[in-house]
Amino acid sequence: SQVGAESDWRTANTESMKSTFSEENGYELIFDDAQQKQENQLTAIRNFIQQEVDYILLAPVTETGWDTVLQEAKDADIPVIIVDRMVDVSDDSLYTTWIGTDSLLEGRKAAEWLNAYTTAKGIDAKDVNIVDIQGTIGSTAQIGRSKGLEEGVDNYGWNLLAQQSGEFTQAKGQEVMESFLKSYDDIDVVICENDNEAFGAIDAIKAAGKTCGPEGDIIVVSFDSVKAAFESMIAGDLNATFECNPLHGPRVAEIIQKLEKGEEVEKIQYVDEAYFDTSMDLEEILKTRAY
């Protein structure tokens, strides 16, 4: 059960699962789009249990509220593989394995990048005014990325003016940035907890008659590194994006193949990720990007 197509990242993640678990690859996939609602995911999981599926893959919209339904899957002897975001459960035997990305590390990398960038520009930390357009509140990605930024604020002494959820969507990201621009007349940095929020924030900045990117008034930093983020950096709007790899399908298939053979699998499996900024040869890198 997936969260819904709220972002380019999500579309790529879904595509990766659908192309991996295809009929020609020997699978029968029952796909549920929960439209970012946990109650829809709970219903989907109960339907999967009723259909006596062999495996349940869950991309949980937020971390809490899964113990009961995962216990029902366990009672039905159906292994559950958690993908992307994490579940916060009392007993981790309620899921077989988790595969995803380290959102806290992503957040920490972004804070380190911002410190290096502002220091290189000779901007004093106490003059760095930041707003944070958060992801879906309570999702692992939002928790990790916000925490990484907050640690940077504590370490470097930046001014964190405001934090508000943009729900990982472009529309909400634009709306939140519009309200920030009305509230604060000297925003130096906007941290967007995914690329789609950044696209909305950039539109809001321009509509307010301000500029952004390497040559602009406001530094824009985001997460995911989808193709459109490369185009935004090449256009001079976005400064940097921190990769979050959505291509989980092949890794999950590997895990299922091992489980089918009765082999043990690692409980926690991270996918690798990098970051990209306007100091790099982005046209070249873009040619290599799969999503």
Which residues are near ligand GZL by CB under 6 A?
A: 6-7, 9-10, 84-85, 101, 139, 141, 168, 194, 223-224, 244
Please give the distance of CA 137 from its chain centroid, rounded to a whole number: 12
188 or 197: whose CB is closer to Zn ion? Answer: 188
Residue 237 contacts which entry, ligand GZL, Zn ion, none (Cβ below 5-8 A, type-dependent) = none
Q: Alpha-carbon distance 182 to 60, whole Å?
A: 34
Site track for Zn ion across 157-186, x = CB under 5 A: -----------------------------x
Environment class of 91 (CB within 10 Å of its CB; exposed 0-12, middle 13-18, buried 19+): exposed
In the complex, minimum distance from the CB of residue 143 to Zn ion, in angstroms, rounded to a whole number: 28
Q: Write out the H or E segment, with its range, that includes residue 171.
A: helix 170-183
3-state helix, strand, coil in the chain (%, to 5): 45, 15, 40
Site for Zn ion in 107-146 (CB under 5 A): 129
Structure tokens given for 33: 């789009």
Residue 198 contacts which entry, ligand GZL, Zn ion, none (Cβ below 5-8 A, type-dependent) = none
Site track for Zn ion across 187-226, x = CB under 5 A: -x--------------------------------------
Q: Alpha-carbon distance 145 to 244, whole Å?
A: 11
Residues that bind Zn ion (CB under 5 A): 129, 186, 188
